[in-house]
């Protein structure tokens, strides 16, 4: 009986692999966020670049439940390579600890394909607020917070968002206290910072860059381990807070059980596209660094980040019912 089951499983895998190789059916790339943001824009750019090797790739935006809705659709899709999805730090590292009930298992229900990008986060202040408080550096901000406990506040896109958790990590590393003010999404949080309702945010560079360039926001430090070439002259937070490092990342996954040769074909197509000079140039304009990896490397990153955020979410006290 066991031998028969193994034979049937092998036949099923062979059939799905053949179907993927011969099918003219477009590949559905589920992006679990709304259209227009950096994750969506980079996904569409990459989908365009792999047409020659994979055929048509249709980007399908399925936002909802902090990214869980779209990710669950990927988890439950047929493991034949015709449905893949975008995985992000929220959907595959933060949400498993933030939500009381998850519709999918981030560790078991997906097969990694490749990381796509890494985007530095940046601690930004309202430029007028920074000038008024005479804060020019991260050390100045920390010194002010220590002399004036509880007077500073920071905004984020909501309880348990990447910006909230990065803020909590900053507070712990710097030994300061600042009031967290959650907003309903990243855009309202940024508007609150621009209007002076909050003093600082930790946001991804792709979102903050236009207002940094215009002078409305003052960048104090990037959250990468080293200064980012995408924001010359701005130091890394690790230069002031030893060991501090927080990246925003996203990549591609398939449903668990997708045959290895299908994963390899997808990986080859997408990593080649990520290495293309045209992709590099376009992504850099979005302040996003292309990071092509093996499936194993991306899987290891997601495992490492999931373990890391388990502790961060617990310490923050953030929960979503």
The answer to whether residues 203 and 163 touch, using CB atoms and an 8 Å cutoff, is yes
Q: What would the mean pLDDT of 46-62 be, rounded to a whole number?
A: 97
pLDDT for the residue numbered 23: 56
Tens-place pLDDT, residues 111-135: 999 999 998 899 999 999 999 999 9
pTM, whole model, 2 decimals? 0.86
List the helix and strand counts (H, then E) for the chain: 14, 10
The answer to whether residues 43 and 107 touch, using CB atoms and an 8 Å cutoff, is no
Helix spans in the chain (H):
2-22, 38-49, 51-54, 68-75, 89, 95-98, 127-132, 138-147, 162-174, 186-194, 205-213, 260-275, 277-285, 295-316
Main-chain dihedrals φ then ψ at residue 244, nearest 5 degrees:
-75, 130
pLDDT band at 10 (very low <50, low <70, confident <90, very high): very low
Tens-place pLDDT, residues 167-219: 999 999 999 999 999 998 888 999 999 999 999 999 988 889 899 999 999 99
Separation of alpha carbons 158 and 155, rounded Å: 8
The answer to whether residues 70 and 30 touch, using CB atoms and an 8 Å cutoff, is yes
Burial of 57 (0-12, 13-18, 19+ CB in 10 A): buried
Tens-place pLDDT, residues 254-273: 999 999 999 999 999 999 99
pLDDT reading at 79 higher than 50: yes
- 274-311 exposure pattern, b = at least 16 Cβ within 10 A, e = fewer: beeeebeebbeebbbbbbbbebeebbebbeebbeebee
For the chain, domains (ranges, CATH) are 2-117+248-316 (3.40.190.150), 120-239 (3.40.190.10)
Least trusted range by pLDDT, from 15-24, 56-65, 262-271:
15-24
- Residue carrying structure tokens 């992006």: 31
Neighbours of 267 (CB within 10 A): 20
Separation of alpha carbons 103 and 224, rounded Å: 32
Tokens of 277: 């000079």
User: How is residue 276 annotated by DSSP?
Assistant: S
Separation of alpha carbons 185 and 247, rounded Å: 19
Separation of alpha carbons 162 and 202, rounded Å: 9
Query: What is the sign of the dihedral through the CA atoms of 250, 255, 260 and 265?
Result: negative
pLDDT band at 20 (very low <50, low <70, confident <90, very high): low
């Amino acid at each position: 009986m066991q031998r028969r089951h193994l034979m049937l499983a092998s036949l099923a895998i062979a059939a799905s692999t053949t179907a993927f190789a011969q099918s003219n059916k477009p590949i559905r790339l589920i992006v679990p966020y709304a259209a227009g943001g950096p994750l969506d824009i980079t996904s569409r750019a990459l989908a365009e670049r792999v047409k020659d090797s994979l055929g048509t790739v249709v980007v399908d935006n399925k936002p909802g439940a902090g990214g869980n809705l779209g990710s669950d659709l990927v988890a439950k899709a047929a493991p034949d390579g015709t449905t893949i999805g975008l995985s992000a730090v929220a959907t595959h590292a933060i949400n498993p600890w933030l939500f009381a009930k998850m519709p999918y298992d981030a560790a078991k229900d997906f097969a990694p394909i490749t990381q796509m990008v890494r985007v530095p986060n940046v601690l930004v202040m309202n430029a007028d607020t920074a000038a008024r408080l005479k804060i020019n550096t991260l050390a100045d901000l920390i010194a002010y917070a220590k002399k004036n406990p509880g007077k500073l506040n920071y905004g984020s896109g909501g309880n348990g968002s990447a910006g909230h958790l990065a803020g909590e990590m900053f507070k712990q590393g710097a030994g300061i206290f600042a009031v967290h003010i959650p907003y309903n999404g990243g855009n309202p949080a940024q508007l609150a910072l621009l209007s002076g309702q909050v003093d600082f945010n930790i946001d991804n560079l792709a979102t903050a860059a236009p207002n940094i360039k215009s002078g409305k926001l003052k960048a104090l430090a990037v959250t990468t381990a080293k200064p980012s070439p995408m924001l010359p002259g701005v130091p890394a937070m690790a230069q002031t807070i030893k060991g501090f490092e927080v990246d925003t990342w996203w990549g591609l996954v398939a449903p668990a059980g997708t045959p290895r040769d299908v994963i390899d074909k997808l990986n080859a197509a997408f990593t080649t596209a990520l290495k293309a000079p045209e992709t590099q140039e376009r992504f850099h304009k979005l302040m996003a660094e292309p990071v092509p990896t093996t499936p194993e490397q991306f899987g290891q990153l997601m495992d490492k980040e999931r373990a890391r955020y388990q502790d961060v979410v617990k310490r923050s006290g953030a929960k979503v019912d």
